[in-house]
Structure 1
Amino acid sequence: MTHATFYILEDTHLAADSDYQLHFACHQAAWSYQQGQKVYILAESKDQAEQIDEYLWQQEPDNFVPHNLIGEGTRGGSPVEIGWQGLRHTGRRNVLINLSPDAPNFAVTFAQVIDFVPCDEKLKQLARERYKAYRLNGIQLQTTAAPETP
């Protein structure tokens, strides 16, 4: 059964770091990789996917996370794959980190889904719609506050 965790982002997160959601998503990907899990990050757009890719490349060598954009790298993809809507991820993966505004219809193929509830009211409403879509697909849901520092 698929489980989804929605991390609630507060104004204080965004005040401290305008890209907090992206950084937190990357830290979640790194943590999952360290736990031996394969991760798919679904970005909102190709530009956002490239931004995530660049962020992961800038990590210290001790914290390096093998990753690639969809279509790059080896045939089966690296442990962390980054894509955007309209593309299909490669192979079986354990964790989906969703940064897109919609609930992907393939979320049920993952053991764990990580999603976010931003503080902006318009984005918060989109998160509510994703929550409903996941629930309709039988995904077990929980919400929790995002930590102050990822």
Structure 2
Amino acid sequence: MPIVTFYQLDNNSQDAKQDILKACSYLLLETVKKRKWAAVLCIDKQQAEGVDEFVWQHPVDSFIPHNLVGEGPKQGTPAEITWLGQALNSRHTLINLSQTMIENHRQYQHIIDFVPVEETQKQQARERYKQYKLAGCNMQFTPANQINESN
């Protein structure tokens, strides 16, 4: 069973969208540094392109080899960014920005999800947490401010 880690986003933040991009990017970098392959699942192509653009802005010394699904080398890159309705290749880690439960969650060793600040999305995250727990996943909950976002 995978480990599912939920990160609680900061209620005091001025820019929740930027916070989730920073957290996602940092966690993606840490996964790739450990020589693990990761996927980022977005809601739609527009969000995926935003994540892609944000990741390209990393300094050279913390570059993350990545591509959007369907692009890049045939063998793929350590980090793949995709969106709902597209192929979701098996990877060690899945960073879930889609705000949905991953149906084939057992194919991952680690799933990372977020608890947004907005109340409706927070309730949806709580429901996903319950679903993963009922599915037998190993659950973790962490405040996002404990992520080192020094990059």
Q: TM-score, normalised by structure 1?
A: 0.92
Q: Does the CA contact (< 8 Å) of 1:96 and 1:112 recur in 2?
A: yes
Most deviating of 78-87 and 132-141: 132-141
Q: Does the CA contact (< 8 Å) of 2:16 and 2:117 recur in 1?
A: no
The within-5 A match list for 1:94-133 is 94-133=92-131
Most deviating of 134-143 and 110-119: 134-143
CA distance in structure 2 between the aligned counterparts of 1:139 and 1:16, rounded to whole angstroms:
31
Aligned length: 148
Aligned residue in 1 for 2:136? 138
The within-5 A match list for 1:19-38 is 19-38=18-37
CA distance in structure 2 between the aligned counterparts of 1:76 and 1:84, rounded to whole angstroms:
19
| Percentage of pairs with the same residue | 38
Aligned residue in 2 for 1:8? 8
Q: Does the CA contact (< 8 Å) of 1:108 and 1:137 recur in 2?
A: no
Counterpart code for 1:5: T
Unaligned residue ranges in structure 2 (runs of 5+): none
Q: Does the CA contact (< 8 Å) of 2:10 and 2:145 recur in 1?
A: no
Unaligned residue ranges in structure 1 (runs of 5+): none
Q: Does the CA contact (< 8 Å) of 2:6 and 2:115 recur in 1?
A: yes
Most deviating of 109-118 and 131-140: 131-140
